[in-house]
Amino acid sequence: MKITQKSFGKTGRGEEATLYTVTNGNGMKVSFTNYGANIVSIIVPDAKGNMADVTMGFDNLAGYEENPPGFGSFIGRHANRIGDAKFELNGKVYELEKNDGKNNLHGGFVGYNKFIYETEFYEDEDIASIEFSRLSPHMEQGFPGNLDVTVTYSLTEANELVIEYLAVSDRDTIVNLTNHAYFNLAGHNAGSILEHKVWIKANQFTPTTTDLIPTGELKDVTGTPMDFRTLKSIGKDIDANYEPLTMAGGYDHNYVLDINGTEVEKVAELVDDKSGRKMEVFTDLPGLQMYTANMLSPVKNSKSGATYNKRDAVCFETQFFPNSCNIASFPSCMLKAGKEFDSVTIYKFSNK
């Protein structure tokens, strides 16, 4: 295990950013920056031992300061959408930024991926970790409570990228943290992911209104294009004449995971037959948003000069259900004052 660091440049505010790279004994390399606690690259071998970066991103800090798609981003205080950009907690209504039509998306205009984080790192024989932390002050983005938040990225010798989220607030608040990495197992610049195959451990998903806010219903995936309980290609049903797909322009839906929530369990798998790469997803959270980059208009000047287009990647965002703060029947993302939020997500890479 090895951790290296180098300058990643200065932000527009004059803050120094650093790029950290963790390498394991298999040659897998993952890079992060303390600007936004963002994942910058994930380099893994294919079935023949050829290495490739399998997540979209930028070569420089300026890209991450803009970053409209949120490549590799640490998302908070609340991932995904909140209907009408408001919620009620303890009898008080909190108004949030309307940065997605009339709704709030990923916290607001300035997300957790736009701040410099304090950094610590730890090296052991078969695991190395980088810990990013900051204080999100009371009413930042409109959310109550001073929130001490930490995201720790660990790389193991089993080619696992382990993400642990920790948060403590001095007031009751809501917390829904995730990472918005865009994956393409053929390589970040390899084009369409429609031939990638997906498995998701979910019998239900949460249907939405036209602006992608859940209705509160849990719908059975049986007999629908939403069913990924058997490994199938993303492209098989993505353009089916099925209202949830036509509304979202593809897959952009929260799956109700079939897990007990008390331990970290395998919930999804992504397979690229051509390269032989496989990625397994593990979590203890109740939901998983699969997003097939439907709204990715050409993003130029990306890594190695690449241009990224619609459906060139897929995201697996572990989460509480969207708008759960306004739907009492959904698992709650409310965090009581002084209680610790602790959740783990793992992306494990291997070959078929």
Tell me whether residue 196 is one of the annotated catalytic residues: no
Strand partners, 69: none
Please give the single-letter amino acid code of residue 56.
Answer: M
Identified catalytic residue from 131, 140, 160, 317: 317
Q: What secondary structure letter does DSSP report for 82? A: E
Q: With contact defined as beta carbons under 8 Å apart, do 30 and 154 qualify?
A: no
Q: What is the average pLDDT value for the chain, to the nearest integer?
A: 97
87-100 per-position pLDDT tens digit: 999 999 999 999 99
- Tokens (6 digits) for 16: 């120094």
Q: Does the active-site annotation cover 180?
A: yes
Mean pLDDT of 114-124: 95
Please list the residues that pair with 350 across neighbouring strands. Answer: 278
The partner residues of 317 in beta bridges, in order of sequence, read 289
Which backbone phi and psi does 243 adopt, to 5 degrees? -50, -50
Residue 191, both tokens: 């084009």
CA angle at 211 for the pair 36 and 221, rounded to the nearest 5°: 95
pLDDT tens per residue, range 58-110: 999 999 999 999 999 999 999 999 999 999 999 999 999 999 999 999 999 99
Whether residue 157 is predicted with pLDDT greater than 90 in this model: the reply is: yes
Give the pLDDT score at 189: 97
| Positive or negative: CA dihedral 138, 143, 148, 149 | negative
Take residue 119 and report the two structure tokens written for it: 């950094």
Give tens-digit pLDDT for 235-275.
999 999 999 999 999 999 999 999 998 899 999 999 999 99
Closest to 208 in 3D by CA, of 343, 316, 105, 282: 105
Three-class DSSP category at 303? helix
Give me the phi and psi of 172, to 5 degrees please.
Answer: -60, 135
Express each pLDDT in 18-56 by its tens digit. 999 999 999 999 999 999 999 999 999 999 999 999 999
Distance CA 236, CA 32 (A): 34
Choice among 78, 106, 180, 188 that is catalytic: 180
Distances in whole angstroms, Cα of residue 266 to Cα of each of 67, 97, 218, 286, 313? 30, 34, 21, 12, 21
Give the pLDDT mean for 144-149. Answer: 98
| pTM as predicted | 0.98
Domains and CATH numbers, the chain: 2-193+291-351 (2.70.98.10)
Measured CA to CA, the distance from residue 97 to residue 105 in angstroms comes to 9
> 135 near 148, Cβ under 8 Å?
yes
* Span 285-304, average pLDDT: 96
- How deeply is 66 buried, as exposed, middle or buried, from its count of CB atoms within 10 A (0-12, 13-18, 19+)? exposed
Quick one: average pLDDT of 303-311? 96
Burial of 329 from C-beta contacts in 10 A (0-12 / 13-18 / 19+):
exposed
Report the pLDDT value the prediction gives residue 233, as an integer from 0 to 100.
98
pLDDT computed for residue 125 by the predictor: 84
Which region among 138-142, 184-188, 227-231, 296-300 has the lowest average model confidence (pLDDT)?
Answer: 296-300
